[in-house]
Amino acid sequence: MNIALLLGFSPQLRTVAELLEGAGFHCRVFATGRELIHRVSQERYDMLLLDDALPDLPAMEVVRAVRSARAPDVPIILLAADNSEDKLVDALDAGADDYICRPLNARVLMARITALRRRVTGERLRQGLVVQAGPYQLNSMGRFATLHGERIAMTPKEFDLAMMLFSNVGRVLTSERIQQAIWHHELPPLSRALAGLISRLRKTLHIGVANGIVITVVYAHGYRLDVLEEGIVPRLPRATSRVSLPDRSDC
């Protein structure tokens, strides 16, 4: 397993490279965020471990740069000093897969690396799946969507959310289930991260009545994706729960 370790100002992380090498991993150490961003587009890594206190760039900017164009699928673990919920949510929203607070425990770090590696391996085994709904197709191999045959680039979280919704047409997916699948934990009660991601997905894929697909907010439950018939927006039975219809801006 080939791991890239981006060191910052934390002296404890200098022992992480020795720990990884001792566990049988090949570890390449980088001193700056710019160096890592440059190399990750040229070399293949199975996982990135990033310090959150870097000499040249904010750690979140490095995560976003890696995700946006260079290595959208590589697992990323952020090693941080701040254990606040806000920092955790910011890291996961930026594209990190896991967030571990210092001081690091060697056994915990290795267990988290192993767990993330196992999860990613399982996801890669399922690659190649193509999901279709209405005029849309989602290609899990390339992690992109097409609308009427035109390719649409997506962020990792947008694609993961789209795959969940498009694979469950007509079914209500609870907010908790979506959060666990996308962020791998439940978000704080007042977090707007999921609602914001839903909004960005609608805009990215041009979801609305015009394209025959709507995402409905199911009050106090979650979200549901529907394929329309002749422009008619389906509703849940009243006995199930109240449903808020899509905003006019979504149509």
CA 77 to chain centre: 12
Average confidence score pLDDT of the chain = 82
pTM for the model stands at 0.51
Q: Reduced to 3 states, what is the DSSP secondary structure of residue 216?
A: strand
CATH says 2-125 is which class? alpha beta
236: pLDDT confidence band, cut at 50, 70 and 90? very low
**In terms of Cα–Cα distance, which of 10, 94, 20 is closest to 55?**
10
pLDDT at 24 over 80: yes
pLDDT digits (tens, 9 = 90+) for 174-226: 998 899 888 888 888 889 999 999 999 999 999 999 999 999 998 888 999 99
**DSSP β-bridge partners for residue 244:** 217
pLDDT at 84 over 90: no
Number of neighbouring beta carbons within 10 Å of residue 211: 16
**Domain boundaries defined on the chain:** 2-125, 130-250
Give CA–CA dist 190/7, Å, rounded.
Answer: 33
pLDDT digits (tens, 9 = 90+) for 120-129: 665 554 555 6
What's the confidence (pLDDT) of residue 127?
52
For the chain, the distance separating the N- and C-terminal CA atoms, rounded to the nearest angstrom, is: 46
What's the confidence (pLDDT) of residue 75?
87
Mean pLDDT score, 1-28: 84
| Weakest-pLDDT range from 3-7, 160-164, 247-251 | 247-251
What's the confidence (pLDDT) of residue 21?
87
Which residue pairs, CB below 8 angstroms and at least 24 apart, start in 126-134? 131/163, 131/166, 131/167, 132/166, 133/166, 133/169, 133/213, 133/225, 133/227, 134/211, 134/212, 134/213, 134/227, 134/228
CA 42 to chain centre: 22
Q: State both tokens at 209.
A: 């009545």
230: pLDDT confidence band, cut at 50, 70 and 90? low
What's the confidence (pLDDT) of residue 226?
93
171: pLDDT confidence band, cut at 50, 70 and 90? confident
248: pLDDT confidence band, cut at 50, 70 and 90? very low
pLDDT at 238 over 70: no
Q: State both tokens at 130.
A: 């193509």
pLDDT digits (tens, 9 = 90+) for 48-71: 999 988 989 999 999 988 887 666
The dotted CATH code for 130-250 is 1.10.10.10
- Those residues whose C-beta lies under 8 Å from the C-beta of residue 241, and which sit 6 or more positions away, are 218, 219, 220, 221
pLDDT at 250 over 50: no
**In terms of Cα–Cα distance, which of 11, 68, 70, 2 is closest to 35?**
70
What's the confidence (pLDDT) of residue 116?
84
Whether the CB-CB separation of 173 and 165 falls below 8 Å is answered with: yes
Q: Of 141 and 223, which is predicted with more confidence? A: 223
Q: Which DSSP helix (H) or strand (E) runs through 176?
A: helix 175-183
pLDDT at 247 over 50: no
